[in-house]
A = this chain, B = another copy of it.
Amino acid sequence: MKIAITGGAGFLGKKLARALLDDNELGVEEVVLADMVAAPDELTEDGRVRSVVGDVTDPDLLADAIRGDTDSVFHLAAVVSAGAEADFDLGMAVNLDATRTILELARKHGNKPRMVFSSSCAVYGGDLPDVVTDNQQITPQNSYGVQKAIGELLVNDYARKGYVDGRSLRYPTVVVRPGKPNKAASTFASSIIREPLQGDEAICPVAPETEMWLASPRTIVANTRHAHDLDGAAFGPWRTVPLPGFTATVKGMVDALAEVAGPDVAARVKWQKDPAIEKIVYGWPARLETKRAEAMGFKRDTDMQSIIRAFIEDELGGKVA
């Protein structure tokens, strides 16, 4: 099996690549990691990994990554929420045009690769009910959500036409992301756990009672794999699935940090509101009923404490600063 991952040097791309390479039953021949930066040595030292460096808005880069014998594409590359809001043209180019280029590549090759597209709960917004069901209309209130919603529609139609075996997933906010903060409006949700655990202060730009819809990296990787492994028919006529998550308040997240790592660590979170971030985050749904995903076998996390413990184990070598 030959696999291409856009955004392959990002945190999720790397974890996904590792999981795919380690799966002996899958019979991986090649994993292409396409990203703006080279994939790390820990991955490229595996002879099956090919790192392709460049911009996903460059059709040549995508054509180099996705070829006629590519069996599966994980399209994770994106300009995230606050980034797409700040630079409208860049968001359109990366989130919309590059997605379309990938779909057209698949169509041109004619080999109907599987394609998993990372969408987002940012497709919801505006006047939402208390609980968002699988049948909720999409009314995105930021450009990132609009571009992701368009990607879903394109993936669905290219799948219906038989050009690609596509499936789109609406990801919850992923906590705890390793590494540095990014331009996602939700990046603080990881920062307020990650930085204190490493001895640094972190700023929370939203009110303590703010609820969020969350999933852990482990669950996201498992669900992304699951979406790939499912037969296309399991999706029926609509190839977009809102993924399970769990609801926590920001205060609850910091309380869980105190429980796992002690009150001194949790005290490193400072509260300082940022209206631009608040406006985006308050528009996202925090409670979803994801019956369809659960019936299809997608998993959910249950509590923040376990997620923090997994982060300490996976990313900090078990040690808290």
Contact = CB atoms under 8 A, between A and B. Distances in A.
Interface stretch (A4-12, A73-81, A146-154): A146-154
Q: How large is the interface on A (under 10, 10 to 19, 20 to 34, 35 or more residues)?
A: 20 to 34
Interface stretch (A132-140, A182-190, A204-212, A305-313): A132-140
Interface in A121-172: 125-127, 129, 134-141, 143, 146, 149-150, 153-154, 156-157, 160-161
A157 B137 contact: no
A262 interface: no
Nearest to A144: B157
A271 interface: no
Contact of A137 (B135, B143, B161): B135
Interface string A102-113: 000000000000
Contacts of A149: 153
A157 B139 contact: no
Contacts of A150: 150, 153-154
Nearest to A136: B137
Given A125-B237, A127-B236, A157 B143 contact: yes
Given A135-B137, A137-B135, A138-B137, A126 B157 contact: no
A157 B135 contact: no
A253 to B, nearest CB: 28
A140 B126 contact: no
Contact of A154 (B134, B146, B238): B146
Residue of A129, A149, A157 with highest tally of chain B CB at under 10 A: A157
B136 A135 contact: yes
A157 B140 contact: yes
A88 B127 CA distance: 34
Contacts of A146: 153-154, 156-157
Given A126-B236, A150-B150, 4 more contacts: A137-B138, A140-B156, A141-B237, A146-B153
30 contacts: A125-B237, A126-B236, A126-B237, A126-B238, A127-B236, A127-B237, A127-B238, A129-B135, A134-B137, A135-B135, A135-B136, A135-B137, A137-B137, A137-B138, A138-B138, A139-B156, A139-B238, A140-B156, A140-B157, A141-B160, A141-B237, A143-B157, A143-B161, A146-B153, A146-B154, A146-B156, A146-B157, A149-B153, A150-B153, A150-B154
